[in-house]
Amino acid sequence: MRPAQAELFRLRHLDCANGRMLTLGPRGGLMAIVNVTPDSFSDGGRFADESAAVEFALGAVADGAAILDIGGESTRPGAQPVSADEEQARVLPVIAALAEQTDALISIDTWRAETARLAIDAGAHIINDVTGGSGEPDILAVAARTGAGYCLMHTSRGRDCLKDAVADQLAFLKPALRATSEAGLSESQIVIDPGFGFGKETTDNLEIMARLDVLHALGLPILIGTSRKRFVAAMSGGEDNLTRDFGTAATTALMRLSGGALFRVHNVAASRAALAFADDIIARHHGGLS
């Protein structure tokens, strides 16, 4: 690693709602996926019951998750949309229960402004918006008003994209970031997410991985969400979750060495092991990190 890369791992903080903050930089952080849905692509129905979701989430914290990402609507290709009322009925009891039982940060995976607002009221700290503010722009006002951390994701769905996948990242993210500023968010609230999958082909995803340095020019922490994605299965040579988890752990280590700050995963323990190696190597190359 070049000495200039030390900047990628410098200490910084993500400001979050409800008086919380997350330390980023010297060590990679893990965001556990908690799908409170019947139809998510790899674990649909496993945690649709509140008690099962809470039990799984607390286990993920024990395995090393710093953030619990609670979602009530599947984002897999072809998934049937749910109403705001149904989404809220799924996620809000889980968030409220977790807020009472753990000090881990809680993220609400939604593009709806009202769901985000209610989730923050129930105890959530971060908004994870897979539309990057394009689904319901009022969600940015919710983040600004509550002080929530905001994960701004690139998507290739429902829009004309540039042929160069990395150039398209910037074409989407730059105006989206301007919108966050205009809504009153500070840079210390924002994490960007390249949106692996989400309308991208395997070659697009690999190109973004290989050229992650282009996104670092935006000056913000990067959330990596490769877990169990179709392109990971294709590269790993198997469709089952275990094989996908092997591939996910590999991408976790690679993207951490490339400067990724947070990793959204299904199997926390596997990616925790991958991060242990990557973080040790980073520390050996860049003295003073802790």
**Annotated catalytic, 174?**
no
What DSSP line would sit under the chain, residue for residue? --GGGGGGG--EEEE-STT-EEEESSS-EEEEEEE-SS--TTTTTTT-SHHHHHHHHHHHHHHT-SEEEEESS--STTPPP--HHHHHHHHHHHHHHHHHH--SEEEEE-S-HHHHHHHHHHT--EEEETTTTSS-THHHHHHHHHT-EEEEE---TTS---SSHHHHHHHHHHHHHHHHHHHT--GGGEEEE--SSTT--HHHHHHHHHTHHHHHTT-S-BEE--TT-HHHHHHHT--SHHHHHHHHHHHHHHHHHTT--EEEES-HHHHHHHHHHHHHHHHHHSTT--
Edge-to-edge strand list for the sheet holding 190-193: 190-193, 149-153, 126-129, 105-109, 67-71, 29-35, 262-265, 223-224
From 112, 229, 230, 272, the catalytic residue: 229
| β-strand partners of 30 | 263
From 112, 230, 244, 264, the catalytic residue: 264
Structure tokens at 181: 């500023």
- Of 1, 18, 11, the closest CA to residue 117 belongs to 18
Question: How far, in Å, CA of 168 to CA of 154, rounded?
Answer: 9
**Annotated catalytic, 159?**
no
User: Which residues are marked as active site?
Assistant: 229, 264
